A and B are shown apart, each in its own frame.
Chain A
Amino acid sequence: MASKSWSPTYLANQLWAKQPKANAELFALTYGALVAELVRDLETNDKIQAELDRMGHSMGIRSVEEFLAKASLEPQSQTAVTCSQFKDTSDVLKMALKMFLGITTEAGVQEDSHFSIQFAENPLSLFVELPPDRSDLEYSQLLCGYVRGMLEMLQFDVTVTMAQSVLRGDEVNEMRVDLNQVLQAGAGDDYQEE
């Protein structure tokens, strides 16, 4: 008997509805305060972005656990999501972004080794306009690190960049995810069982 299966969008909305919420403006202002702090402390754009990326990375690592615990993606559950190829990962990623950030994303490019995700609303940059002397700062680098951290926990070594950003004058935000390699599951060689 074929079990009933749900679309990823439906599941994502279900997950989002169940999540306890926090005010998006408080979130945006808090992130803004952090970036302002980093600008004062670290000065160069490269260092600021590296720090944001690192923070996003560790947030992503924690989010994966919560996502897997709450999303129940096992084959026997009522889920239409299976990741047989890397590009299918984008569907699950879209679910996670909806669940944590409440944003609806659109799939952009879908190739074997890279895909992109587009979104109109960026909760990080709610009240933001970049000053002229920081116009090339990638303000939303945290999101790139976030996605990189999540996928790393799923054994994908990826490079994430903001291909387009509304803050820099593009029509839409677009995150590009490039697959470097699939990591080996399990512990390393030097791990020995007692």
Chain B
Amino acid sequence: MNRLSAPTSISVNILDRPIGGRGSRSTSEQTVSLSMFSYLYSEIVQYHQNRVDSISELERKLEATGYGVGLRVLELLTFRTKDYTRETSLMNMLQFVSTTAWKSLFGKAADSLERSIDHADEYMIVDYAPITSTFVSVPADFGGLSVDAYISGMIGGMLDGAGFPARVTAHSVALEDVVLPPRKEKAVFLVKFAASVLERDAHLS
């Protein structure tokens, strides 16, 4: 235990260090405060906001930031499974994203995973309280900006990394008759798969 908490010597290459998880570090060491994350994310949004001309451009920027994170998260989670499995069927992959990945990133599974009735290639991952917009209120003149675009970028990165290219967009949907939780909006991540993905999935199943 002492050996683990000792400062990492530089002679150890980053690839030779343990990747954590599975009890090699205690849970308390694997968290920072939610406020620290929110402050950091707020700075990221502000940084991009100063460098773009339109709301949709801002969302694209946040998505691009999340995309790289998604790729890395997928890799990290895959390495932590015992047998390095990768999901090959569409439903299993979506389940992986909305439960396994969601739990490890946000501490809980996504609130629901839905299939679009109108379009066979569209799925929706719904979260009532995503951490990227917990402390955010979007001004009225920001025309439906969804600051959860960062998460949609991450979903896109994870799906793409696993061989399921898809267009993922984040939408804030107003909730009517709110009972619980006390929020006015929920985040809906709309996943639209490329035609090739559906074709392959039809072959496989």
For chain B, the bracket of interface size reads 35 or more
Q: Chain B residues near A59 (CB, 8 Å)?
A: 36, 39-40, 43
Interface residues of B in 1-44 (CB under 8 A from A): 5-10, 13-14, 20, 28-41, 43-44
Q: Would you call A29 and B106 a contact (CB within 8 A)? A: no
Comparing B69-77, B82-90, B160-168, the segment that makes contact with chain A is B69-77
- Report how many residues on chain A are interfacial, defined by Cβ distance under 8 Å: 42
Q: How far is the CA of A177 from the CA of B106 in the complex (A)?
A: 34
Q: Would you call B40 and A34 a contact (CB within 8 A)? A: yes
Q: How far is the CA of A19 from the CA of B43 in the complex (A)?
A: 20
Q: Would you call B35 and A66 a contact (CB within 8 A)? A: yes
Q: How far is the CA of A30 from the CA of B52 in the complex (A)?
A: 20
Q: Interface readout for B48-92 with A: 1 if CB under 8 Å, 0 if not?
A: 000100000000000001101100110010000000000000000
Q: Would you call A22 and B69 a contact (CB within 8 A)? A: no
Comparing A75-83, A87-95, A97-105, A152-160, the segment that makes contact with chain B is A97-105
Residue A127, interface by CB 8 Å: yes
Return the contact of A27 from the options B6, B32, B68 (Cβ within 8 A): B32
Q: Would you call B33 and A100 a contact (CB within 8 A)? A: yes
Q: Chain B residues near A99 (CB, 8 Å)?
A: 33
6 pairs from A and B in contact (CB 8 Å cutoff): A22-B38, A24-B31, A25-B105, A34-B44, A55-B47, A102-B28
Binding site for B on A (CB under 8 A): 16, 19-27, 29-34, 36-37, 41, 51, 55, 58-59, 62-63, 66, 99-102, 120-121, 123, 127-129, 142, 166, 169-172
